[in-house]
Structure 1
């Protein structure tokens, strides 16, 4: 990730092409996101994680030997399918494990630790990718393929505690869960939509980091170092997410997250300089505690037998939003400037985010959440 934009540019792609590829990845995820979430509920979380890791390994392996848009297209589809099998199943398996050991109240703490470990791992990998890229921009992909392979035996080693759901009419049950999550249960719907919008915002900003560094003429070796510091920031912030949530409460957290995320876009847009880079670090602090907190809210009001499907609906919203706006912001960057692209993204995120924030303020459940 820290050097992939440089890699794409070496292969002759511009930012619009890059965002199109990322849209393809998101569309591949979106096409299977909810079915694979349901598959995790009926086939098993562990089985989906194993299959997802295999797809991801194939996708990165193809990347390591490719240099054309068409080949990258295939890799993004493989990676999208792989990630759709993993997303939802991982958090659902974690929450069900906490239920098994009667520690569900500590879920947010452990989800925060998962986020922290993931970002710490990505942070240290960022240092090495920057150093490897000095010798060859393709070398990090060879190493990435090996790292991706490790996920397969890791997934095989997991233990699953949740019972698999047995349903006669799978399609009808998926539709029922979607209707319940997005229409019947208003509280769950507003949580999913708000979390999805914020997720799309943080994902999009991740793809703006490298164009910002390129604008600042940052040396290649510093790409990995800066990426490392950003991910360490996310990891440390995620570690304290449960304490912050306990102190502020859900509604104050929603408000803080929305205004700091959109404010981060505006701050960077009007400071395409090293000041903007500093603003980016504050954005990543908010990103660190936003992810586990918002996923935790959804888990608290979701039944176990549909947990992976519901989390996949959240991921579906994230990827659908990203797939819709990524080509637009990439085009705005190439045609106008990075600042214009960031400002447009801030508006796209803030308007629906504010709508669902207001709906959550106005909505009061008739009975306590299950």
Structure 2
């Protein structure tokens, strides 16, 4: 019976992942913004607002998932995701896009953390928690394969009209609603948290103050997550600088996300071969090289380094999430994962508009190399402290 519940939830979590990552709009989103009169600074401002919208509800939504159930918060997030893209599809300027980003941010915050927690609890319920990295890797792979497939279709739709991908995206977001509604809450042995702001503060204090291993695992995962999010928004300006034909955007976006999906699928094997500490160190180096080489090389000779960056991104997500899940107590797992996502969005919200300003005021090279050095400094500092804490524990 418990295996049936696990399989039932896995199917719906796959549907939710596909719905969330089948992004018809991503290959042409910067072109769409330019078509509607926005500059690079405004693009990063919109994404910063999206991140801040997530931040406002990120930790409370994770706590609601722990207190009220993962399924309920995921369902609310799916509904808000549909509404957000519906607003986008009928908007034609900065303020309409801003409203859509706020709604999408709220929706994402309701799902973020709750989905991974529900997956982990479903595995615990079926006594298969040791397979979390494998399943999380598959979830990441499915998401990136979906995004890759959407890149081709999105490019074709954009060739007809730059707005068609947004109409299609609204329909895709609608698919998540029935999938979320039919999830089954796992009957794990832990008790749900009580509702209250004091309890939320207690969980955050536990994650970032009391438990040193958890704190530094969260911070390292957040720095890496923010760096990959930043690069995702640099790729299209880089393609524009390289005079890439519009019809090639979908194919390139597809290829990059296929690489992430393949890497995520084999992340657990990489960790088994190299070990967690060594794997993390290699990932940090590859991500740094991606920023620096994409910044200095204006031609397609930089593409191999962007490829390496995306491969590292695929391996990093399931491994770093698993590190947190192994330490996080079951009753507060969704809240703790939301703390991680909260910090990712805070980092991006602070630095994103600055990178956009550097691009408009100076150059894409300056922005990319600055992002790379900020990342390497933050990641090395957190990595060193984490290594020290892990050895002393």
Is the pair's TM-score, using the shorter chain for normalization, greater than 0.5?
A: yes
Aligned partner (choices 153, 161, 168) of residue 178 of structure 2: 153
Q: Is the 8 A contact 1:235 1:288 kept in 2?
A: yes
Q: Is 1:337 aligned with 2:359?
A: no
Q: Is the 8 A contact 2:67 2:195 kept in 1?
A: no
Q: Is 1:213 aligned with 2:239?
A: yes
Task: Write the mapping of 1:95-174 to structure 2, written as runs, cut at 5 A.
Answer: 95-162=120-187, 165-168=191-194, 170-174=196-200
| Shift, 1:135, TM fit | 0.9
Q: What TM-score do the two structures reach when normalised by structure 1?
A: 0.97
Match of 2:10 in 1: none
Change over 3 Å in CA distance of 1:224–1:169 after alignment to 2: closer
| 2-structure distance, mates of 1:76, 1:277 | 30
Q: Is the 8 A contact 1:41 1:165 kept in 2?
A: no
| 2-structure distance, mates of 1:266, 1:3 | 24
| 2-structure distance, mates of 1:276, 1:209 | 11
Provide the secondary structure at the position in 1 that maps to 2:180. Answer: helix
- Of 159-168 and 242-251, more deviation after overlay is shown by 159-168
Q: Is 1:227 aligned with 2:253?
A: yes
Match of 1:15 in 2: 40
| Shift, 1:249, TM fit | 1.3
Aligned partner (choices 269, 273, 287) of residue 247 of structure 1: 273
Q: Is the 8 A contact 1:187 1:365 kept in 2?
A: no
The Cα offsets for residues 184-224 of structure 1, whole Å up to 9 and x where unpaired, read as 10000000000000000000000011001111111111111
Q: Is 1:74 aligned with 2:75?
A: no
Task: Write the mapping of 1:1-370 to structure 2, written as runs, cut at 5 A.
Answer: 1-162=26-187, 165-168=191-194, 170-364=196-390
The Cα offsets for residues 149-186 of structure 1, whole Å up to 9 and x where unpaired, read as 00001111211104585445521111111111001100
Give 5+ residue unaligned stretches, structure 2.
Answer: 1-25
Paired residues in the alignment total: 367
- Of 273-282 and 74-83, more deviation after overlay is shown by 273-282
The Cα offsets for residues 204-257 of structure 1, whole Å up to 9 and x where unpaired, read as 000011001111111111111100000000000000000111111111122111
| 2-structure distance, mates of 1:364, 1:136 | 53
Change over 3 Å in CA distance of 1:167–1:301 after alignment to 2: closer
Give 5+ residue unaligned stretches, structure 1.
Answer: none
The Cα offsets for residues 301-329 of structure 1, whole Å up to 9 and x where unpaired, read as 11111000000000001000000000100
- Of 339-348 and 194-203, more deviation after overlay is shown by 339-348
Q: Which runs of 4+ in 1 moved over 3 A?
A: 162-169, 364-367
| 2-structure distance, mates of 1:59, 1:240 | 34
Provide the secondary structure at the position in 2 that maps to 1:364. Answer: helix
Q: CA RMSD, aligned part only?
A: 1.2
Q: Is the 8 A contact 2:193 2:331 kept in 1?
A: no
| 2-structure distance, mates of 1:167, 1:297 | 22
| Shift, 1:364, TM fit | 3.5
| 1-structure distance, mates of 2:64, 2:194 | 13
Q: Is the 8 A contact 2:64 2:73 kept in 1?
A: yes
| Shift, 1:7, TM fit | 0.2
| 1-structure distance, mates of 2:167, 2:100 | 14
Provide the secondary structure at the position in 2 that maps to 1:315. Answer: helix
Q: Is the 8 A contact 2:193 2:332 kept in 1?
A: no
